[in-house]
Structure 1
């Protein structure tokens, strides 16, 4: 029977893996609680709905059964966490208007994709399929954002890999 008490090292692992999600959830909870008011049907509604879906998918996917392999479990929780960040950043790119935040959202997409690749490589897992560049994100059923670059204007569909990941892969050979 597993112990209900956490060892110090497991507590640090759980804290490191879960803390960012809790912080994001609290922030989203405040935003979504505000959205539940009468102004819910306004222009922000599609953004809020998309973010709520992203948070739900992320939280569900992060609820994994421990495998007994700390590295595998860490990656099992971090991959959906990173994908959730990508999904939320893409919603900002679709609906946001602040250029500084849109640039940050683009960076989040690229950096989180790179970290997903690095974690998968570290465990010898297959890489995800390449995704459109962050400035190409379009809402599923709405017209193009005035800030988005039309797909025909950019053919960038590759994902770059951080140098540290490439070194890590080469050193493991």
Structure 2
């Protein structure tokens, strides 16, 4: 018997039942909650490996929608952009935000109630205060040597 498919072409509650490596491309993309946190520039301590987030956003992040303005071609515009996929999540999860669905599922944890897959509302992430909507600074406005001045104290 096959899994029921909803109107968006997704298997019912796939995030609870299907391993990340077995998700369809559409299901993989649906895991993104649209918070924009992964598009914040990060600083990593070379000695400890500690990763801290800054308010400095990738040049392609739309601060209002919290989405990449050129998602399909982002890697050609920003070659250092990391394209998350099932084959590299084990290497990248540590620098993803702690609230990220990809990281949560990789770590065997459940999605938060505000995640759009749970709430049914793509705006729930913003209402819950879990997105970067309205508080980032564009990377071209801040010299790299000043990114430390924009480190976010709270855990993401």
Normalised to the residue count of structure 1, the TM-score between the two structures is: 0.22
Instruction: Give the structure with the higher percent strand.
Output: 2
Q: TM-score, normalised by structure 2?
A: 0.24
Structure number with the bigger relative contact order (C-alpha 8 A, sep ≥ 6) is: 2
Which structure shows the higher helix fraction? 1
